[in-house]
Amino acid sequence: MLARYNPILIVIILCSLFVYIAVAQETDNAVITAENAEEVQEIFVSTEHQPWGRAVAFSPDGEILATASDDRIVRLWDVNDEILIDELTGHEAQLRDVAFSPDGQYLASSDGAGIVIIWDMEKLEPLAELDGHLDGVISLLFANTGTILFTGGAGEDRYILFWNLESIEDPSEYDSIALSGGVDGLAISKDDRLFAAGSWEGRAFLWQVKGVETTLQHRFEHGEAILGIDLNSTGSILATVGNDRVARLWDTETGLEIVEFADHRREIVDVDFSPNDALLLTCGRDHTMRLWDIENEVRVAVIENEGAEVIDCEFNPQGTKIATIDADGVVRMWAIPE
């Protein structure tokens, strides 16, 4: 069959194929582990956002990165091509958080005036606007079923609201939990059985979830104000970080502290488990990220962020990249270059 075609054309096609394969291999990044964590480097940087940077979130497939800052714009990035896809505008107040639905069809964004917008990711248009909070909403979380959105209020609000998303264009609030301090950090186990929240009063709370019923299981005394929390994939460990510059791991069954990681020089503002639960990522106002080997309870890497304090950080679903946004609004992606 090939003999019927121009040999020069065949050579061009084959060369193009080889180049494509080579480029694909070059853009593949290794999974970040305790053994290679010190090799993590900056691979992408953008200054599109204005200060103050607020939030980053990867889509469930890891293909899109959503970022938000005080400039009131949600920006969407193609992770592989490292280019800006689109800008979502509609908020009238400074943004606070962004979160993807589990199927990636929707994106939620929140602002300092208490407004939450749910966006259609196919049409890149707003579907619904939620206004149940009296103050800024700094924490957003979808349940893994995709049928519930949790929103956490700060300032004078201090409520966690539960929104039924069965009618995505007309969500309804069906429950709420009041905390004595601003809500900063929400997390849920993969089976939606455990739900956690952190607060500025220095406590984290863990509830068992059965249907629409929530039962308080544990209260964790972190100490100073909590600024971020996360649950590992099995829901067996809760991580809390905050103003005291300490990351704490808690056993969710017993409620007891497992270990403290105390190495940051200033407040720790966010925390994230790696997808395989082997590493803990922390980022803070000392302009750094740190990676911790959970099993061996040791720090394995310190990653310097040039210029400003890191405000939010997150692993991609594959565990091969980390996204950050800092106080200057600078968005970065980090990985182990091939």
Can you list the domains of the chain with their CATH numbers?
184-304 (2.130.10.10)
Mean pLDDT of 216-239: 97
pLDDT reported for residue 28: 80
Looking up tokens 């194929």 gives: 17
Mean pLDDT confidence for 237-261: 98
pLDDT tens-digit map of 58-95? 999 999 999 999 999 999 999 999 999 999 999 999 99
Give the separation between CA 162 and CA 147, rounded to whole angstroms: 10
Note the pTM of the prediction, 2 decimals. 0.90
Supply the pLDDT for residue 211. 79
Q: pLDDT tens digits for 157-169?
A: 999 999 999 999 9
Which whole number is the average pLDDT over 219-231? 97
Half-sphere exposure of 315 (CA within 13 A, CB side): 27
Neighbours of 242 (CB within 10 A): 28
What is the pLDDT, as a whole number, of residue 68? 98
Phi, psi (degrees; rounded to nearest 5) at 51: -65, 155
pLDDT at residue 26, rounded to an integer: 41
Question: What is the distance between the alpha carbons of residues 239 and 335, in angstroms, rounded to a whole number?
Answer: 23
* Residue 128 confidence (pLDDT): 98
For the stretch 297-312, pLDDT in tens is 999 999 999 989 999 9
Q: How many residues does the chain have?
A: 338
Q: What is the mean pLDDT of the chain?
A: 92
pLDDT of residue 312: 98
The predicted pLDDT at position 7 comes to 41
Task: Answer yes or no: is pLDDT of 295 > 70.
Answer: yes
Handedness of CA 290, 294, 295, 298 (dihedral sign): positive
pLDDT of the residue at 180:
87
pLDDT in tens, 10-29: 333 334 333 333 333 344 89
